[in-house]
């Protein structure tokens, strides 16, 4: 039982390149989330998907797009990467609504943009 799996674990991009971060969960959870974590800061919500077929913006959505491919998978896309998007990205999932259930996290994707 893997929980939440993120790929890749590390990535270096040049400014202007595009990339998709992948996330999959095997816990049959309804809700999934993408966060970014910058040094000395807590997690900031980028986008979330309360249920299959729905997505909503979080606190810092600019420069990102998401796709809830099916119940298991939720991807995050950077269309034109910028140095300000250098960060550690975490995917998470939960049984139900965002604030009422514990979230289960992947181990993150460390993304550097040069």
Residue 78 CB, nearest approach to other proteins (Å): 20
Chain-centroid distance of CA 21 in Å reads: 7
Please state the closest distance from residue 68 (CB atom) to other proteins, in A: 17
In this structure, what DSSP letter does residue 84 have? G
Q: Which is nearer to other proteins, 87 or 106 (CB)?
A: 106
Residue 15: CB minimum distance to other proteins, A: 26
In Å, the largest CA–CA distance within the chain is: 39
Report the residue number, 40 or 53, with the smaller CB distance to other proteins.
40
**Shortest reach from residue 113's CB to other proteins, in Å:** 20
Q: Is 107 helix (H, G, I), strand (E, B) or coil?
A: coil
Residues near 109 by Cβ (< 8 Å), separated by ≥ 6? Answer: 6, 7, 8, 9, 10, 11, 21, 88, 89
Nearer to other proteins, 85 or 93 (CB): 93
Binding residues for other proteins, rule: CB under 8 A, are 4, 35, 40-45, 58-59, 90, 92, 98-100, 102-108
Based on the number of CB atoms within 10 Å of its own CB, is 66 exposed (0-12), middle (13-18) or buried (19 or more)?
A: buried
Instruction: Please identify, using beta-carbon distances, which residue of 7 and 15 lies nearer to other proteins.
Output: 7
């Amino acid at each position: 039982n893997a929980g939440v799996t993120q790929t890749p674990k590390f990535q270096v991009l040049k400014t202007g390149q595009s990339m998709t971060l992948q996330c999959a969960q095997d816990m049959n959870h309804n809700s999934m989330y993408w966060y970014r974590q910058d040094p000395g800061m807590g997690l900031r919500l980028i986008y979330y998907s309360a249920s299959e077929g729905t997505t909503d913006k979080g606190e810092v959505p600019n420069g990102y797009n998401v796709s809830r491919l099916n119940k298991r998978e939720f991807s995050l896309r950077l269309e034109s990467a910028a140095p300000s998007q250098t960060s550690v990205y975490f995917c998470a999932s939960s049984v139900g609504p965002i604030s009422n259930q514990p979230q289960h996290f992947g181990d993150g994707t460390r993304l550097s943009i040069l």
